[in-house]
Structure 1
Amino acid sequence: MKKKILFLCTGNSCRSQMAEGFAKRLGPGIFDVYSAGIEAHGLNPRAVQVMSEAGIDISKQTSDVLTKEMLNGTDLVITLCGDAKDKCPILPAGCQHVHWGLQDPARATGSKEEVMSKFREVRDEIAFRIQKLVSEL
């Protein structure tokens, strides 16, 4: 039976979108994967670009605000930032919560290449954590 996983961050624009993309790629048949945010900031084009570099197209994913209905039947909620962790609603009985405190690449400063480097760094960290999650199941 597939596990329902929800990735949650503040704006559902970068980290949770990348996590959704990797989990769908690395865990087919294992996970039903969703992502949401405390707010919806729209899909970040830099996240789309760095995921494309990794061979994963997230351009059709949508930036969604978390609803109580999304939590129904969810087995695991993974928060990707402190804001989402702090504002995460009470989870249904039986739902696990894991926190991955990752820097927000959308807040990176510097040259275009420095900003893209931060996006790639966060992308690679998410890929590593998703691979570990898959191997543990």
Structure 2
Amino acid sequence: MTSKTRVLFICTANAARSQLAQALLRHTDSEHFEAFSAGTVPTQVDPRTFDALSHLGVSTEGLRSKSIDEFRGERFDFVITLCDKAAAECQSLPGAGEVLAWSFEDPVASTKPDAFRHTLHEIHERIKMFVLVKTKR
């Protein structure tokens, strides 16, 4: 049994935000955290997600779009939703310890030129703070 803190990131399509968050948490502190991601209505990972992560030197190994159904019956210390739609749909996820709602603009739907890098940066800042706060015991 692992003593790592298990974190599940959820957004609607599991195409960008939750993938970025999963990869960034893994990159930032894989010693203390185990990161997972899923979507309420999964599609596929947007190629720009991989580009943004690679640009930052973050591993994209094993990233794929998956449904929260894959994690039914699993226990998570934190379930973090990354959009309002997922937050509304995941109020009562069984096996969730603490549920946090972080809201980030969807870079897939954005018309901003650097939407993916911008979202990556915003999520990275939030994750660094989360790691800082949750590893102070």
The normalised TM-score by structure 2 is: 0.89
Question: Which residue does 1:96 correspond to in 2?
Answer: 98
Q: How much has 1:57 moved relative to structure 2?
A: 2.6
- Aligned partners of 1:48 and 1:59 also within 8 Å: no
After TM superposition, the structure 1 stretch with the greater mean CA deviation from structure 2, 83-92 or 5-14, is 83-92
Q: How much has 1:60 moved relative to structure 2?
A: 3.4
The normalised TM-score by structure 1 is: 0.89
Structure with a larger share of its residues in helix = 1
Please list, as runs of the form range in 1=range in 2, the aligned pairs for 1:75-86 lying within 5 A after superposition.
Answer: 75-86=77-88
After TM superposition, the structure 1 stretch with the greater mean CA deviation from structure 2, 46-55 or 57-66, is 57-66
For residues 104 and 34 of structure 1, the distance between their equivalents in structure 2, rounded to whole angstroms, comes to 19
Runs of 4+ in structure 1 over 6 Å off:
none
Unaligned runs of 5+ in 2: none
Note closer, same or farther for the CA distance 1:60–1:86 as it changes in structure 2 (3 Å cut).
same
Please list, as runs of the form range in 1=range in 2, the aligned pairs for 1:35-46 lying within 5 A after superposition.
Answer: 35-46=37-48
- Aligned partners of 2:73 and 2:95 also within 8 Å: no
Question: Which residue does 2:50 correspond to in 1?
Answer: 48
For residues 133 and 30 of structure 1, the distance between their equivalents in structure 2, rounded to whole angstroms, comes to 12
Question: Which residue does 2:31 correspond to in 1?
Answer: 29
After TM superposition, the structure 1 stretch with the greater mean CA deviation from structure 2, 74-83 or 64-73, is 64-73
Percent identical: 30
Q: Does 1:125 align with 2:94?
A: no
The alignment's C-alpha RMSD in Å is 1.7
